[in-house]
Amino acid sequence: MNLRSLVWKELRERPWSVVSSSMAILLGVAALVAIRHVTVHSEQEVSRQLSSLGANILILPKDASLQNYYAADRNGQTLPEEHVTEVLMAGLAGVEKVTPKLSMPASLGGLEVTLTGILPQSEFTAQQAWQTAALFTPKKHDGCKKASHEPSEADKTPESLNTTRAIENLEKNQIVLGADVAERSAFSDGDTVELLGGTFIVLGTLTRTGTVDDSRVFAHLHTVQELAKSGEVVSAIEVIGCCEDAAGDLVPELSKLLPNARVVTVSQVVQTQVGVNRLMSGTSLFVLGTLVLVGGASLASAIAANVRERRREIGTLMAIGATPGFVQRLFLMKALVLGLVAGSIGCVIGLLTAVMIGPQWAGVVVLPLPGLAVMAVGAATLLAVMAAYWPARQAAKLDPCLCFQEV
Amino acid sequence: MIRLENVKRTYTRHGQTVTALQCENLCISAGEYVAVIGPSGSGKSTLLSLLGGMLSPSSGRIWLDDMSVYEQPLTARATMRRERMGFVFQTFNLIPYLTALENVQVPLGLNGVSLPDQTAMATAMLQRFGLADRLKHKPSEMSVGQQQRVALARTLVNDPQIILADEPTGNLDPTSREVVLKAFDMCHEEGRTIITVTHDVTAAARAKRRLVLNEGQISEESSCWAKVA
């Protein structure tokens, strides 16, 4: 017979008391796990949708408009290229990718095209200072990836310009042709072409997107700046921001950082889902608060009642040699078991609920998140132990002479 | 040896100070069998609590051999009870959700005895009290006599030098009472110190020394109890 067996046998003796005292924690954890699972997957879905849309935040010259951007305004104002460094060094939460662009008119074999200078992602990787800034970028929520310029497999092909608005590698003498340009100019991969007085090799051609990009020719930003003699400027900086940040905090933060630029967001398309995510995040905070208050209070009251009804048993244990510490541990361990069991069952119920309701509720497929599950069970256990601390202390302070009394 | 030196225990109730126990000097030698007799409210439970290191005196000292009990910290007093004392209660105080065997295992577990040894020692002790067939029974499934025997087994399983008993026969039928008293006789023969608080004339008569407790004052046996003895 030891502390563990005493706790276990007492719990087995009063199964209904166990259920009622831990019900609030169980339900709280179930609700929290369900909501958080749906929220996280919904955030990931928003993030994925935004990524598929391309840049969702644009940094434009002060007087430029979205119209100028979409029209690939070739005679518009420019921004200093150093704004790119400023954005990266600021380490703002939610910045996933930054792609500066400089557009100019050019002629390709007699065909009028828009030559767009872009900075390949490998240039970011080469800049240690930028990497460090990116590493320390705080992660705001689970649905978003930490800002990073680590190349993905998709980034390594020219087609990534269509999908992620960025390309991993682009030599200073290479170009990528938009679908329309490729079709009309009849140039293809490996061809050598003349542009703005420079000689380039066609690295690849893009598939049709139905956007202004179809009529663009992409080259290295610094080559375009050199050939156009524009200096270190860009027409726009495209920022791929993370879901909620793109729709919320990031835009004002960027505006504050770059007061001489205009920061606009194009993420309205996912505003509704971002709104739902925010609502669910708020709800999960509310449930967390309820769990702490109701679950904690309910368990504390159950343990306090348990202490009261076991006063003589506690006195007897002390009379036969149990220390106050042993008595305190007896109740804390009981709370720990209750928290662990209620948390685990609640977690499973919450998970099943999320998997079932996720597709209907938020239109996302929900998969279990082990980290979140472990955190929920851990939090429930910690809450239970904290809630039981005071009654357990009171039990340890009980007078052992109670063993002689009729209670 | 247990020695009470100018011990006084008072309680304050509704602004009034009540003396529950007062004792100038009392010595109980090792191996003595002492009965404390007195009416309800005379301070018998207070005396047992004081002797058991569970209730500090308002003034004075209680010595156990050369150790001043209340100058020890709480944990040391708990260890003292665990290793040197055994308690017998009027209402047995068995833990209701444990079986007879498990109840007897509790003090062993508190003393750090391994589980297999606990089982072996508790089983042997219950067999000694004729409860070999009640090992898996819970208190509610046993008669009061059986419950008191389980309580006795729990008291003795740690081999205590001192047994403190609070009305040990108060709730028992004559047969069960005899079992308990015989157990005390046996403990006395084994050299243990027994201090029993009782109303029971027969139980008090079995003790070798009797103390009378009246309104908190302890005195040696009165003549009427001597006649019973």
Contact with chain B for residue A15, Cβ under 8 A: no
B195 contacts: CB under 8 Å, gap ≥ 6 = B2, B28, B34, B36, B48, B51, B162, B163, B164, B165
Which of A7, A314, A404, A406 should be substituted to probe chain B, the one whose Cβ sees the most B Cβ atoms within 10 Å? A404
Residue A234's Cβ-side half-sphere holds a number of Cα atoms within 13 Å equal to 24
Q: What are the sequence ranges of the domains in chain A?
A: 3-42+274-404, 56-265
The pLDDT value recorded for residue A2 is 87
Report the C-alpha gap between A333 and A5 in whole angstroms. 11
Which of A320, A327, A334, A402 should be substituted to probe chain B, the one whose Cβ sees the most B Cβ atoms within 10 Å? A320
Report the C-alpha gap between B38 and B225 in whole angstroms. 11
Residue pair A172/A223 in contact (Cβ under 8 Å)? The answer is: yes
Q: Which residues of A touch B140 (CB under 8 A)?
A: none
Token pair of A261 as six digits:
């630029």
Sign (positive or negative) of CA dihedral B119, B124, B127, B132: positive
Residue pair A144/A242 in contact (Cβ under 8 Å)? The answer is: yes
Residue pair A390/A332 in contact (Cβ under 8 Å)? The answer is: no
Domains and CATH numbers, chain B: 2-228 (3.40.50.300)
Sign (positive or negative) of CA dihedral A325, A327, A9, A23: negative
Q: Which residues of A touch B78 (CB under 8 A)?
A: 318, 321-324
The 10 Å Cβ neighbour count of residue A312 is: 19
Report the C-alpha gap between B170 and B196 in whole angstroms. 11
The pLDDT value recorded for residue A97 is 78
Q: Which residue of chain A has the CA closest to B46?
A: A401
B32 to chain A nearest CA, in Å?
A: 21
Which residue in A124, A135, A127, A68 sits closest to A239, CA to CA?
A124
Residue A377's Cβ-side half-sphere holds a number of Cα atoms within 13 Å equal to 14
> So what's the ipTM on this one?
0.90
Which ranges of chain B have pLDDT less than 70?
221-229
Is the CB of B74 less than 8 angstroms away from the CB of A322? no
Report phi then psi at A324, rounded to 5.
-55, -35
Report the C-alpha gap between A130 and B33 in whole angstroms. 87
C-alpha gyration radius of chain A: 31
Residue pair B100/B177 in contact (Cβ under 8 Å)? The answer is: no
Starting at the edge strand found earlier in the chain, the sheet holding A192-195 runs A192-195, A198-205, A174-177, A216-220, A111-118, A95-108, A236-241, A57-61, A261-265
**Residue A403 is nearest to which of B93, B108, B109, comparing CB atoms?**
B93
Name B86's bridge partners. B163
The pLDDT value recorded for residue A136 is 46
Q: How far apart are the first and last CA of chain B?
A: 24
The pLDDT value recorded for residue B222 is 53
The pLDDT value recorded for residue B23 is 86
Assign residue A61 a region (left: φ > 0; alpha: ψ between -120 and 50; beta: otherwise).
beta
**Residue A321 is nearest to which of B79, B93, B115, comparing CB atoms?**
B79
* pLDDT tens digits in sequence order for chain A, 407 residues long: 888 899 999 888 888 888 888 888 898 889 889 888 888 888 777 767 666 655 578 888 887 776 666 665 555 688 898 888 888 888 777 777 788 888 888 888 888 888 899 988 777 765 545 555 554 444 444 545 434 445 555 556 777 666 666 777 888 899 999 888 888 888 888 889 888 888 899 988 888 877 778 888 999 999 999 988 888 999 888 887 765 555 567 778 888 888 888 888 765 555 666 676 777 778 878 877 887 788 889 889 999 999 998 988 999 999 998 999 999 999 999 999 999 999 999 999 999 999 988 888 777 888 888 998 999 999 999 999 999 999 999 999 888 877 676 54
Residue pair A100/A84 in contact (Cβ under 8 Å)? The answer is: yes
The pLDDT value recorded for residue B225 is 47
Token pair of B227 as six digits:
């006649």
Instruction: Report helix, strand or coil for A270.
Output: helix
Q: How far is CA B156 from CA A135, A312, A337, B34, in A?
A: 67, 20, 32, 18
**Residue B74 is nearest to which of A14, A319, A324, comparing CB atoms?**
A324
Where are the extended beta strands (E) located within A196-293?
198-205, 216-220, 233-234, 236-241, 261-265
B161 to chain A nearest CA, in Å?
A: 13
- DSSP H or E segment with residue A249: none
Fill in the amino acid letter for A193. V
Report the C-alpha gap between A363 and A1 in whole angstroms. 53
